[in-house]
Amino acid sequence: MKLLKGLLINLQFFTAIPIKLELPMDREHLRGAVQAFPLLGVFQGFLYSYLLYALINWTPFSHLAAAFLLWLVTILLTGGIHLDGWMDVSDAYFSYQDQVKRLEIMKDPRTGAFGVISVLVLLSCRFFFIYELTMNIHFVTYFLIAAIPFLGKNVMGAILLTVQAAKDDGLGRLFQQAATVKVLWIYPFYIFIFLLILFFLRILFIPIWILLIAAMICYLISRRNALMWFGGITGDVLGATVEGTECILWLTVWLLHYFVMG
């Protein structure tokens, strides 16, 4: 029940889906929300994979149209909340100022040139990867696509609870105060269940393990960068972490189709 409410809280916070419920925001339920981060990723991943399958197999749309519609959904579903963090972090990082000044820049509601350029590059890369995958799609591709937001949310939760806060307010701090690193025990359990499902479906394991390794590397790099560039995490840093991790995972899936599954 706590996980279900936690998932609903996540849907309210991190998606554009209208959840018209008065959900409790106390410590216990926010802790459940942190534990449900990967479940939000599962929901997103299932939606992406199902949509792509339906567009390719049940509609007359071209691969380009299918890629564009999936790409558009990846933006609209989240309401751009993580993209906002990506732009703010890009503006702050490319200012080449000290940590204090970078945190001030992230608070500025205005978007600078570096934020605009960085989000254009990010979204262009994502569209390219999706389009190429539609041109060379396998059965296992749908599971790899589903794994992208799932692993991205695992990384987000791990960063949230293993890296100190850079400031004492904001969305990141709100979730961080509600949970401790001990709640992360459920994340490996989610991954185990995911791998078990793939085993019973006789899905090729090598691409999945490579994707897991890529996600782990993203976690280590994101952790180091958050501490080095900003002195810790903020809500914007978490959003940028999700976007950056998922972009690397899209890249990984794209490369797997050329060098492992091709």
Backbone φ, ψ for residue 79 (5° rounding): 65, 15
Q: What is the rounded CA–CA span in Å between residue 128 and residue 46? A: 21
Q: 165 by DSSP, 3-state: which?
A: strand
pLDDT tens digit string along 1-31?
678 888 999 999 899 998 887 888 888 888 9
Q: What is the rounded CA–CA span in Å between residue 147 and residue 85? A: 22
Backbone φ, ψ for residue 111 (5° rounding): -105, 130
What would the mean pLDDT of 82-101 be, rounded to a whole number?
A: 93
pLDDT, residue 131, reads 98
Q: Which residue has the tokens 């949970």?
A: 179
Q: What is the rounded CA–CA span in Å between residue 44 and residue 101? A: 35
Query: Cα dist. 21→6, 25, 46, 188 in Å?
Result: 12, 12, 23, 30
Residue 77 has pLDDT above 70, yes or no: yes
pLDDT, residue 160, reads 93
Residue 262 has pLDDT above 70, yes or no: no
- Burial (CB < 10 A; 0-12, 13-18, 19+), residue 201, is exposed
Task: Please report the sign of the dihedral spanned by the C-alpha atoms of residue 157, residue 159, residue 164, residue 165.
Answer: negative
Backbone φ, ψ for residue 150 (5° rounding): -60, -50
Q: 74 by DSSP, 3-state: which?
A: helix
Residue 176 has pLDDT above 90, yes or no: no
pLDDT, residue 115, reads 94
* pTM above threshold 0.85: yes
Helix (H) or strand (E) holding 207: helix 205-225
Instruction: Write b or e for each residue in 12-30: b if 16 or more Cβ atoms lie within 10 A of its Cβ, otherwise e.
Output: bbbbeeeeeeeeeeeeebb
DSSP state of 95: T
Give yes or no for a contact between 36 and 12, defined as CB atoms under 8 angstroms apart. no
Number of other residues whose CB lies within 10 A of the CB of residue 65: 13
What would the mean pLDDT of 80-104 be, rounded to a whole number?
A: 93
HSE of 156 in the Cβ direction (CA atoms, 13 Å)? 35
